[in-house]
Structures are given as structure tokens and as C-alpha cells.
């Protein structure tokens, strides 16, 4: 799926083509998740309040995305997330906010290790509202998570 996505990105000639490629990727992820939702490789872990440590509203340590595609955030407070561990070249993950709070995903946070950081195209942090999600792809060249779709 990732190789096909990368190949389609390389031939996209316009913003509309890029949007079509991203929507196809989301459809593929959703299809694959529906098929594998009950298996360890399709569904990641729930990142809950007990697994998180907060300092001044920011996670002290970025959560590690273990095996799986879908990761659910369910903390009992709004927070800034400095990044995510567990990245490797071409990895695609969906972060789903199952809480009632909005999370901010920091752009290039100094709290995270360089390989855990998220870099956005705009250079600004982004938010995940309650019951929304974010698709990230790990870029091995830059060693960063790249958001490709927000509010899914």
C-alpha cells in the first residue's frame, strides 16, 4: 500500500491529483483496518491517561506507537503531544482522538527526540479535535512523522 501511495504521489500533477491520492490512501487504510480490526497488526494500542506523563500540559515523553495502524488517544485532559516513537520508513498510522478534549500535535518539538518529531508543511502545530483523527507517514529521509490528512 505504501509503495503504491508513493508511486501515485510521484505522478500527481496538481493539487487535485494530490487530494485524490490522499483520499485513496485513507480509503485503503479504512478498508485494511476494517479487515484487520481484531488482529494485533491492524489495531494498535489505546494510549490512555495512565500511560501518559504530563508537564505543564505537554506530554513529558512522546507515546511509542507499537505494532498496528490505529492508535486511540484517550487522556482525561487536553495536551500538547511533542511527537511519537516507533517510526520507520514508510510507516502509516492513524491517530484517533477518542477523548472529549482537543490535542495539539507540536511541530518540531524540542521535547521529542529528533526521530520522534512531527514536521508539518506549514511549520505550525496542528490540532486533533474530539472524535477526529490524523494520518501520519514516517519519512525515513528526514526521520520525521509527516501529517498527510487531519480531521479524518
Among the listed residues 14, 69, 64, the one whose alpha carbon sits nearest the alpha carbon of residue 38: 69
Minimum mean pLDDT among 26-30, 45-49, 76-80, 128-132: which range? 45-49
Which tens digit of pLDDT belongs to each residue from 50-96? 555 556 555 556 666 766 677 888 777 888 888 888 888 888 888 88
Which tens digit of pLDDT belongs to each residue from 98-134? 889 898 999 999 989 999 999 999 999 999 999 898 9
Note the pTM of the prediction, 2 decimals.
0.65
Among the listed residues 101, 102, 149, 108, the one whose alpha carbon sits nearest the alpha carbon of residue 128: 102
Instruction: For residues 61 and 42, give the distance between their C-alpha atoms in angstroms, rounded to a whole number.
Output: 24
Instruction: For residues 4 and 99, give the distance between their C-alpha atoms in angstroms, rounded to a whole number.
Output: 33
Amino acid at each position: 500500500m505504501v509503495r503504491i501511495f508513493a508511486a501515485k504521489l510521484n505522478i500527481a500533477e496538481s493539487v487535485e491529483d494530490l487530494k485524490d491520492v490522499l483520499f485513496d490512501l485513507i480509503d485503503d487504510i479504512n478498508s485494511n483496518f476494517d479487515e484487520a480490526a481484531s488482529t494485533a497488526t491492524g489495531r494498535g494500542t489505546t494510549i490512555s491517561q495512565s500511560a501518559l506523563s504530563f508537564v505543564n500540559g505537554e506530554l513529558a515523553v512522546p507515546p511509542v506507537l507499537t505494532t498496528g495502524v490505529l492508535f486511540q488517544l484517550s487522556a482525561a485532559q487536553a495536551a500538547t503531544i511533542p511527537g511519537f516513537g516507533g517510526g520507520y520508513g514508510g510507516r502509516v498510522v492513524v491517530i484517533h482522538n477518542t477523548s472529549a478534549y482537543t490535542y495539539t500535535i507540536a511541530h518540531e518539538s524540542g521535547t521529542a527526540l529528533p526521530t520522534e518529531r512531527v514536521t508539518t508543511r506549514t511549520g505550525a502545530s496542528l490540532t486533533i479535535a474530539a472524535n477526529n483523527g490524523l494520518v501520519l507517514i514516517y519519512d525515513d529521509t528526514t526521520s520525521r512523522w509527516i501529517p498527510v490528512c487531519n480531521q479524518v
